Amino acid sequence: MRWNRIDVKLGLTMITVFLLVFAPFVYVIDQVFCNYYYNKAKEEAHQLTSNYAQMIANNQMLMSTPMVEMAGNITQKKIFLLDEDGDMITFTGTDDLEINIKEFDLQNLFEGRPVFYEYVEPFTDIPYLLYGHPINADQFKGSLFMLFPLNDMYDSMSTVRQLFLLAGVGGFFLALGFTFIASRKLSSPLLEMQAATKKIAKGDLNTKVIVRSKDEIGSLAVGINNLTQELKRHYDTRSEFFASISHELKTPVSYLMGYSEVLKEKLYQTEEEKEQYLSILEHEATRLNYLISDLFDLSKMEEGKFDINKEWIDLTELADNLDMKYSLKAKEKDLLFTVKVDENLSLFYGDGKRIEQVFTNLLDNAMRHTTNGEVTCEFRQGDNQINIIIKDTGSGIPADELPFIFDRFYRVEKSRSREFGGTGLGLAIVKMLVKLHGGTIDITSKENEGTQFTLSFPNDIGNKERGEKI
């Protein structure tokens, strides 16, 4: 047996609790019954002894001996009568009665107080309750003692104890069986989860835990299943990312190697052709640099080691630059691009380069996925915050993919990823940069209707006029 199994620990705990509760209970019940029988015997002895003592006190001394013998015959009890010096006057029931009354008990009797204690007959080992009652009459002073056998009482108590013992043993085995069933039933889901997590740890991400209840154990099972799904999705997106990043790296590297070889072997015809090859090399080197830079930045952000250099920036000026840059791109795709800026838009405290990177990534996505219609970028001044809305009329995003859109390496329309480009890092970087500026970003989208990103940043300078020197 493995003692570190949860069902064994749970079973031992339940049995221990049972014993801790049952043992004191049995002890208390035993004491209650013993005290009841013993007090009943004492009460009977007191009542009987005091009655006969009173009868003797009410009669003359000459009637004491026959009265004691008569009482012994009636009650079938051993009775003896002592004078005030403790000497035996008469006795009934046995000829070899040897009882030594203690001086202390004689003093109590002399002072009018009854005495009692247990006495064991030497030859038969029968226990008795010895009860003595004082007699204070004008013609006679002494005490009357009666012996009440306790063997019947002890036999009854022994029978009760045996019944308690049998009940205890039966209860123990019943509790043992209940504990075994309950512990197995309670621990079975946990053991199943343990086996499932071992399979998951070995890479079997198709493992599912059966949810058997709606309590904490059921919630744990749901959590493990959700974790498995998240791990599976992470591994899938990671595999896709590695495939994508390999392709993205391979393309510029192939260009670099191929055209550098052409230049090295001087396989060009004219200087103009040479300049063209050099431009291609520069373009691919820049593309490769951007890709590596994104990976490096995202890694630093996730480690919490990414620094931003905040300063007061004019969002109106930034909006003008975006309008100038993306109006040309929109014209090339026959799209309408519009930038709207509130007149009272305040200055923004942030990293100008990184904020521009956020807008650039979002607008690049909007332009890339929009084939007709328009793309808008709107800057609004709110109460204690600045809101930026970037909206397009592009292909949109499926509802079941929206929760994962900001995950690293995740890309919508994986089958068309080569057509649209990207590595699935842009939106992950956007969300991290927005978070570093204390802002939030939300997305709403409908397939074939378009997508809207809403960014909100805290406005640290309140209602200060735009352009005020700080």
Contacts of 449 (CB under 8 A, 6+ apart): 393, 396
- Predicted local distance difference test score (pLDDT) of residue 355: 92
What architecture is domain 6-155?
Answer: 2-Layer Sandwich (3.30)
- Predicted local distance difference test score (pLDDT) of residue 467: 41
Of 42-56, 67-81, 371-385, where does the model show the most confidence?
371-385
8 Å CB contact between 376 and 367: no
What architecture is domain 216-302?
Answer: Orthogonal Bundle (1.10)
Judged against a pLDDT cut of 80, whether residue 280 lies above it is answered with: yes
Higher pLDDT, 244 or 439: 439
Q: Give the pLDDT confidence of 315-339 residue by residue, as tens digits.
A: 999 999 999 989 988 988 899 999 9
Judged against a pLDDT cut of 50, whether residue 197 lies above it is answered with: yes
**Quick check: helix, strand or coil at residue 204?**
coil
Q: Which CATH class is domain 311-458?
A: alpha beta
8 Å CB contact between 147 and 78: yes
By mean pLDDT, which of 252-256, 344-348, 413-417, 441-445 is the weakest? 413-417
Is residue 102 classed exposed, middle or buried when 0-12, 13-18 and 19+ CB atoms within 10 A define those classes? exposed
Mean pLDDT confidence for 200-226: 82
CA distance linking residue 365 with residue 359, whole number of Å:
10
Contacts of 335 (CB under 8 A, 6+ apart): 367, 370, 372, 373, 374, 375
Higher pLDDT, 439 or 204: 439
Q: Give the pLDDT confidence of 128-172 residue by residue, as tens digits.
A: 888 888 887 766 678 888 888 888 788 888 888 888 788 878 877
Nearest to 99 by CA among 84, 113, 114, 116: 116
Average pLDDT of the chain is: 80
Residue 123: both structure tokens together? 């030859």
Domain ranges of the chain: 6-155, 216-302, 311-458
Mean pLDDT confidence for 78-94: 74
Mean pLDDT confidence for 32-53: 82
DSSP string, 86-140: S-EEEE-S-SS------HHHHHHHHTT--EEEEEE-TTT--EEEEEEEEEE-SS-
What secondary structure letter does DSSP report for 446?
E
Q: Give the pLDDT confidence of 6-26 residue by residue, as tens digits.
A: 667 777 777 787 778 877 887
Q: Give the pLDDT confidence of 291-303 residue by residue, as tens digits.
A: 788 778 777 877 7
Strand pairing report for 348-350 and 115-120:
unpaired
Gyration radius from the chain CA atoms: 51
CA distance linking residue 470 with residue 28, whole number of Å:
83
Judged against a pLDDT cut of 70, whether residue 420 lies above it is answered with: no
